Structure 1
Amino acid sequence: MSAVSISKKDIKTIMKSDQTIVKPAAAVTPPVAARPSMLALKSRAFFQWLLPPVFGLLLLVAIWALISYQSPNLPGPLPTWQAATELFSDPFYINDPNDQGIGWNILASLERVALGFGLAALVGIPLGFIIGRFQFISRMAAPVIGILRPVSPLAWLPIGLLVFKAADPAAIWVIFISAIWPMIINTAVGVSKVPQDYMNVAKVLNLSEWKIVTKILFPFVLPYMMTGVRLSIGVAWLVIVAAEMLTGGVGIGFWVWDEWNNLNVEHIIIAIFVVGIVGLLLEVALTSLAKRFSYE
C-alpha cells in the first residue's frame, strides 16, 4: 500500500485554513425607548384619577337633562344652576326665625347631627366593647338589638316628642337611636375576633381589665370601630333630613319641606345635592381620621 506524500507547503496551507476564524456579525443594538418624564407620569396618574369621576358626573347631568326634557315640571341642570348661584350669593341672611339662608339651615342640621352622633359614640362604643368582651352580656343583648335595630328611625320620633316635649331634643334622640347600632355591632364583632393567643398572654402577664382594653383590644378593634363610626355618620345625616321635615324649625330638612310648599323645585334639587355633598365630606373626613390613627 503506497503512502501518500504531503509536502511541507501543503501542511502549512492546511494549518492556515484551519486557523481562519469567521468573525460574527456585529450585534444590532435596538434603539433605546425614551423614558417618560416624571411630569408625564404624574400627569397620567392625575388624569386617571380625575377623568372617571368627571365622566360619571357628566353622565348624571346628561340623564337629568334628558328626564327634565321629557318632564317639563322638572327643572333641568341650567335653571337649577342659575337658582343655586342666586341662592348661595347670600346663604346666611335672616329675615325672620322661619326665613333664613341655606347656610344657617345646614349649620343647624350639622349641630343636631353632632349632638346625636356624639351621644351615640359615647354610649355605643363602650357598650360594643362590653358585649364583645363578655359572652353572657352578648347573649343577653342579642335579642334586644335584633328587635330594636330594624325599627324605622322615624318610628322613634313620636317617642321622642312624648318624652322630651320639644322638637329639637326629639330630632337628636332619633339620630342617637339610629346611629348607635352600627357602632355597637361593629365594635362587638371586632372584640370577638381578637385572637385567643392575645388573651392568653394577658392572663399570663396578669394584666388588668383596663390594660387589656387599652393595650390589646383597642388597637385590634380600631378598624372595626371606625367602620361602625362611618356607617353611623351616614345614617345620622340621612335621618336628620326626614326628622326635620316632621319637627320643623331651622334645618335642611325643614328648608326642603318649606320649599316644596312654595313649589320651588329648583331649591329642592339644590338641597338634594347639598345633602349628598355634605354627607360625602363627612365620610371622607372620618376615613382620613381612621387612616391617621390606624395601628396597622
Structure 2
Amino acid sequence: MVSAVFHSPGDASFDAPEHPMTPKMIATPAASTSASAPKAPEVAAKMPFDWRNLWRNVLPPILGLGLLVGIWAIISISTSSSIPSPFETFKEAVVLFSDPFYRKGPNDQGVGWNVLMSLERVAVGFGLAALVGIPAGFAIGRFEFMGRMFNPLISLLRPVSPLAWLPIGLMVFKGANPAAIWTIFICSIWPMVINTAVGVQRVPQDYMNVARVLNLSEWKIVTKILFPAVLPYMLTGVRLAVGTAWLVIVAAEMLTGGVGIGFWVWDEWNNLNVKHIIIAIFVIGIVGLVLEYALIKLATAFTFEEVKS
C-alpha cells in the first residue's frame, strides 16, 4: 500500500529532498533583515601601542644621556667636587639662560651674543668657501687638465691644520675677526671642492654622450645634467664643511679673542668658572647638532636619495 503525502507550497522549501547539484539556500536572520534595518556604524579597531618602536627610538638616547650624567656624577664625587656635579651645573645653567643677551661691556656679554657672533663668522667664512669651492669642484671634475693641475695642490694643503692658517690671516688682514673668517674659509673649502669634483667624475658617460649628440652648450650641460646628478655629493660636502667650520671657530676664537663662544670658554677658564665651561661645551654640541640636523633635512628635501646621519 502506497500512501501519498501532500505538502503545502509554504512547506516545500523545507521538506523537499535536495538534489546533489542543487545549491543550498540558507536563510539567516541578518540576511532577512538587511533590506529593512539600517546597518550599524562600524567601530574602528583601536591600534595597540607600539612598544617596540618606543624601545628602539626613545629609550636608547635616554639611556645614553643617563650614562653620561652618571659618569659625570661619579667623576664629580671622586674629584671632591672640583668638577661640579650635574645638579649644580644645571642650576647655574638656569641662571645663565634666564638672561642670555645681557651686555655689561665689550668683553662681558651673554652666552646668546657669543653664540650669534660665532655663527655669523661661520656663515661668512662658509659662504665664501661655497662661492669658491663648488665652482672649483665642477671645473676640476669636468676638465681633466684642471684636475691634474689642482689635485697635487689639494693633496698638499688639505692635511694642514686649520689653526696653522690663523697666523697668516692675522698678518694679512691685521684683525682678529677677518683672521677667524679666513680660517673658516680655508678649512671649509676642501670638503666642498673634493666632493663636488668626485660627483662630477661619477656622472655616467651616457649622459655626456647624449649631450654631445644634442650639441648642448657647456652652460646647459652644467645646469641640466651635471648639477642634478652632483647635488647629493655637493650637499655631503656642505655638511662636512659646516661641521668642520663649527669645530674650528671655537679654537680660533680662543686665540683671537673678542666676542664668541670660543673666547667665552677661554675667558671662563681664566676666571676658573668650571660650571660655565661645561655649559659652553653643551651649548657648542647642541648648536652643532642643530646645524647637522638642518642640513640633513635640506639634503633630504633636494635629493632623491635617503640621507642618513
Please report the TM-score for the alignment, with normalisation by the length of structure 2.
Answer: 0.82
Match of 2:75 in 1: 67
Query: Which residue of 1 is the match for residue 94 of structure 2?
Result: 85
Query: How far apart, in 2, do the equivalents of 1:224 and 1:51 lie?
Result: 33
Aligned equivalents of 2:86, 2:219: Cα separation in 1: 56
Query: Is 1:184 aligned to residue 193 of structure 2?
Result: yes
- Alignment counterpart, residue 237 of structure 1, candidates 246, 259, 272: 246
| 1:271 equivalent in alignment to 2:306 | no
- The C-alpha deviation readout for 1:28-78, integer Å capped at 9, x for no partner, is xxxxxxx9843623x653453211111111111111111222123111211
2:290 alignment partner in structure 1: 281
State yes or no: 1:144 paired with 2:153.
Answer: yes
The residue number in structure 1 matching 2:143 is 134
Q: Give the secondary structure class of the aligned counterpart of 2:160.
A: coil
Aligned length: 261
CA contact (8 A) 1:120 1:180 kept: yes
The change in CA–CA distance for 1:98 and 1:55 in structure 2 (over 3 A counts) is same
Distance of 2:304 and 2:130 partners within structure 1? 20
- In the alignment, the residues of structure 1 paired with residue 257 and residue 48 of structure 2 have an alpha-carbon distance, to the nearest angstrom, of 54
Q: Is the 8 A contact 1:92 1:100 kept in 2?
A: yes
Q: Which amino acid aligns with 1:173?
A: W
Change (3 A) 1:45 1:146: same
Assess, with a 3 A threshold, how the Cα gap between structure 1 residues 193 and 36 changes in structure 2: closer, same or farther. Answer: farther
Work out which of the residue numbers 248, 261, 266 in structure 1 matches 2:257.
248
Question: Which residue of structure 2 aligns with residue 116 of structure 1?
Answer: 125
Q: 1:65 to 1:36 in 2, by over 3 A?
A: farther
1:49 aligns with 2:64: no
Kindly tell me: are residues 36 and 230 of structure 1, through their superposed partners in 2, closer, same or farther at Cα, counting changes over 3 Å? farther
User: Any idea what SS the aligned residue of 2:104 has?
Assistant: strand
Between Structure 1 and Structure 2, the one with more helix by share is 1
Cα 1:39–1:281, aligned 2, differ >3 Å: closer, same or farther? farther
* Matches of 1:283 and 1:162, distance apart in 2: 33
Amino acid in the other structure paired with 1:238? L
CA contact (8 A) 1:219 1:295 kept: no
Residues 189, 224 of structure 1: 8 Å contact kept:
yes
1:253-273, Cα deviation, whole Å (9 max, x unpaired) = 000000000000010000001
CA distance in 2, matches of 1:174, 1:137: 25
Q: Provide the rounded CA distance (Å) in 2 between the counterparts of 1:143 and 1:279.
A: 32
Unpaired runs of at least 5, structure 2: 1-43
Instruction: String of CA shifts for 1:125-159, please: whole Å, max 9, x gaps.
Output: 11001000011110110110011101111100010
Q: What is the rounded CA distance, in whole Å, between the counterparts of 1:148 and 1:137 in structure 2?
A: 17
Aligned partner of 1:20 in structure 2 is none
- Compute the RMSD of aligned alpha carbons: 1.5
Corresponding residue for residue 40 of structure 2: none
User: Per the alignment, in what secondary structure is the counterpart of residue 157 of structure 1?
Assistant: helix
- Say if 2:110 is the partner of 1:101: yes
In structure 2, C-alpha distance between the alignment counterparts of 1:200 and 1:39, rounded to whole Å: 55
* SS of residue in 2 equivalent to 1:118: helix
2:181 matches 1:175? no
